[in-house]
Amino acid sequence: MQMDEMIQDFVERVNEKSFITPILPTYPIICTIKTFNQVDVKLQFAKEGISIVEANVNGDVLIAGEEENITDLLKGVIPLSDPNIKFKGTYRHFLLLESIFVMAKHKSTNINIVS
């Protein structure tokens, strides 16, 4: 799957999951996703959902890495805190995006909660 298709799949997956909507920010956050072979995509995270931004706007957050690592991040295989992923932004944005990536995992996984 190409990077553009992977990002589109991620956007659709997040927007379909109604339990993610409450944590989306009331103000838009622009996230630039870059791969080391110069793929550059901007995502807008806002209360209305996540969308791909076509305009040349400055981002609030930068996520960079090898294409394989970015793909794994979008699938939920690796966390945003993985050492192969570079993050530039505030800690608040980091926590928000980490939560969204975890909740939007490609496949649902069973979680056993022990009380």
Structural domain of 45: 3-103
Q: In angstroms, what CA-CA distances link 66 with 42, 48, 69, 85?
A: 16, 29, 5, 8
The per-residue pLDDT string of the chain (115 residues; one tens digit each, 9 = 90 and over) reads 688 888 999 999 999 998 998 999 999 999 999 998 877 899 999 999 999 998 788 889 999 999 999 999 998 899 999 999 999 999 999 999 999 999 988 655 555 555 5
pLDDT of residue 106: 62
Q: What is the pLDDT of residue 107?
A: 57
Residue 109 maps to a domain: no
CA 86/CA 71 separation, integer angstroms: 14
Question: Is 49 among the domain residues?
Answer: yes
In the chain, the number of structural domains is 1
Cα distances from 99 to residues 4, 25, 56, 66, in angstroms, run 22, 12, 26, 21
Give backbone dihedrals phi and psi of 76, rounded to 5 degrees, phi first.
85, 15
Contact assessment for residue 51 and residue 12, using Cβ atoms and an 8 Å cutoff: no
Q: Is residue 97 included in any domain, yes or no?
A: yes
- The pLDDT score that the predictor gives to residue 39 is 74
32 contacts: CB under 8 Å, gap ≥ 6: 40, 41, 42, 59, 61, 62, 63
This prediction's pTM: 0.84
Structure tokens at 44: 């807008």
